[in-house]
């Protein structure tokens, strides 16, 4: 086990504070959580410590040895040292180097070398989570979050009965935009330990965005169950936003992301709190793994969305069996099954035969800043199936 795992905050603090006081002329990094913070490098082995020392000395980056650590004493920005080491060290060596620094709280923080750098790269996140800028303003430079809508379609009558509220982050203007994907947003929140703040803010943004649109239908809003540690407290802002929206709570479907991987009792508590306020509850990414069917029977959610892994090849016997089992169980529980990531007519037909009628995906419409109607004429597909009532699929083994 690398030695840095045994170094305590008490041991790191004097070293980091020494460096912090020594480097009075350090340039500001531009990231408030790391601004002006000098660093200590904590290698996993003595051999790695010698390698770090040689690399720093070779590039005129001055340091002092403090026990098992190397304290950078400038005069250059510590980011230069981290960038140098990221490009100089092998992956295995890089993963065994920790960086200790003092954040704005005044307490030492310890992160891997790669994560320390990635935090600097995600400075936009702090601006986005506090930026009040309204989406669609071409003069606003952000960064800021916005809510986009993707239609959820009842394919039995070609009717849009809801939209999923998806998060986007962007900066710049229409001429020079910079957009961040959902994966980048979640990664930044995890790195900065602000998942709960992010989840809370995005639920409120989604409700506000839904209230600005006067159309009908439900709104599916994702949430991370592990950020709602006490539903009565953590959902207070969300429930206040619901009341302020003046929309019927029944139109909001709160969707537990990766629900099957969470504690069943915890999910039941969240579902009960939401239902007491008149909202609906959904499970995302449901499959037969991780006790998916048992969770479905216990919670009886209003909706479940099929796991993306099942949508990868609905014609395979394994995926088809799993989808059919979920549909059968959902029917007994009074739960509607929604298939996502639907991209072509053949997939629609396969899902119909497996008993799935609610779908979303690029086949119906891509996410957009305002709610949209499906682009395809599903009535023709429905008529085609009615003309061939004995149609059956030859599933591959």
pLDDT tens, per residue, the chain with 397 residues? 334 444 455 555 555 555 544 433 333 333 333 333 467 888 988 899 999 999 888 888 888 887 778 888 765 667 778 888 888 888 888 888 988 876 555 666 778 888 888 887 888 888 888 876 555 444 556 688 889 999 999 988 878 889 999 998 887 766 777 888 888 899 889 888 889 999 999 999 999 999 988 678 899 999 999 999 899 999 999 999 999 999 999 999 999 997 555 688 999 999 999 999 999 999 999 999 878 899 999 999 999 999 999 988 898 999 999 999 999 999 999 999 999 999 988 899 899 999 999 999 988 888 888 887 666 566 565 555 555 444 444 444 3
In angstroms, the CA 156 to CA 219 distance is: 20
Q: What is the pLDDT of residue 312?
A: 83
Q: What is the pLDDT of residue 268?
A: 94
Quote the crossing angle between the two packed helices 113-121 and 182-191, to the nearest 10°: 120
- Report angle CA 387, 393, 397 to the nearest 5 degrees: 180
Q: What is the pLDDT of residue 168?
A: 87
Do the beta carbons of residue 324 and residue 354 sit within 8 Å? Answer: yes
- Between the two ends of the chain, the Cα-to-Cα distance in Å is 45
pTM (two decimals): 0.77
Q: What is the pLDDT of residue 169?
A: 87
DSSP state letters, 191-222: HTT-HHHHHHHHHHHHHHHHHH----SEEEEE
Burial of 130 (0-12, 13-18, 19+ CB in 10 A): exposed
Query: Among 221, 197, 195, which Cα is nearest to 208's?
Result: 221
For residue 303 the two structure tokens come to: 């909706």
In angstroms, the CA 285 to CA 221 distance is: 14
HSE-CB at 213 with a 13 A cutoff on CA atoms is 22
DSSP state letters, 319-360: HHHHHHHHHHHHHHHT-EEEE----SHHHHHHHHHTT--EE-
Q: Is 85 left (phi over 0), alpha (psi -120 to 50) or beta?
A: alpha
In angstroms, the CA 283 to CA 307 distance is: 10
Query: Among 209, 217, 395, which Cα is nearest to 317's?
Result: 395
Torsion of CA 80, 85, 87, 88, to 10 degrees: 130
Q: What is the pLDDT of residue 76?
A: 62
In angstroms, the CA 240 to CA 170 distance is: 26
């Amino acid at each position: 086990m690398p030695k840095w795992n045994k170094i305590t905050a008490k041991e790191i603090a004097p070293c980091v504070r020494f460096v912090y006081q020594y480097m009075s002329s350090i340039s500001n990094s531009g990231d408030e959580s790391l601004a002006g913070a000098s660093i200590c490098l904590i290698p996993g082995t003595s051999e790695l410590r010698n390698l770090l020392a040689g690399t720093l000395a070779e590039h005129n980056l001055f340091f002092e040895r403090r026990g098992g650590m190397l304290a950078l004493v400038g005069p250059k920005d510590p980011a230069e040292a981290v960038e140098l080491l990221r490009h100089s060290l092998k992956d295995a060596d890089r993963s065994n180097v920790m960086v200790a620094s003092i954040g704005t709280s005044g307490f030492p923080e310890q992160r891997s070398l790669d994560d320390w750098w990635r935090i600097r790269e995600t400075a936009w996140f702090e601006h986005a989570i506090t930026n009040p800028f309204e989406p669609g303003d071409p003069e606003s430079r952000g960064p800021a979050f916005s809510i986009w809508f993707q239609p959820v379609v009842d394919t039995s009558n070609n009717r849009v009965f809801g939209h999923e509220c998806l998060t986007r982050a962007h900066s710049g203007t229409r001429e020079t935009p910079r957009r961040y994907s959902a994966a980048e947003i979640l990664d930044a929140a995890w790195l900065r330990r602000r998942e709960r703040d992010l989840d809370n803010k995005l639920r409120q943004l989604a409700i506000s965005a839904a209230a600005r649109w006067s159309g009908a239908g439900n709104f599916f809003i994702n949430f991370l169950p592990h950020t709602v540690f006490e539903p009565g407290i953590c959902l207070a802002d969300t429930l206040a936003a619901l009341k302020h929206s003046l929309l019927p709570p029944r139109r909001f479907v709160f969707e537990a992301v990766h629900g099957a991987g969470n504690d069943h009792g915890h999910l039941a508590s969240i579902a009960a709190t939401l239902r007491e306020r008149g909202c609906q509850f959904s499970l995302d990414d449901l499959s037969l793994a991780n006790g998916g069917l048992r969770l479905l029977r216990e919670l009886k959610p209003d909706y479940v969305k099929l796991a993306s892994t099942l949508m990868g090849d609905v014609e395979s016997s394994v995926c088809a069996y799993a989808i059919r089992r979920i549909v059968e169980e959902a029917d007994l529980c009074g739960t509607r099954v929604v298939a996502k990531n639907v991209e072509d007519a053949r997939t629609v037909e396969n899902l119909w035969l497996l008993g799935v009628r609610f779908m979303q995906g690029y086949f119906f419409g891509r996410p957009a800043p305002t709610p949209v109607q499906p682009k395809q004429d599903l009535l023709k597909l429905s008529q085609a199936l009615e003309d061939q009532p004995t149609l059956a699929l030859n599933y591959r083994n």
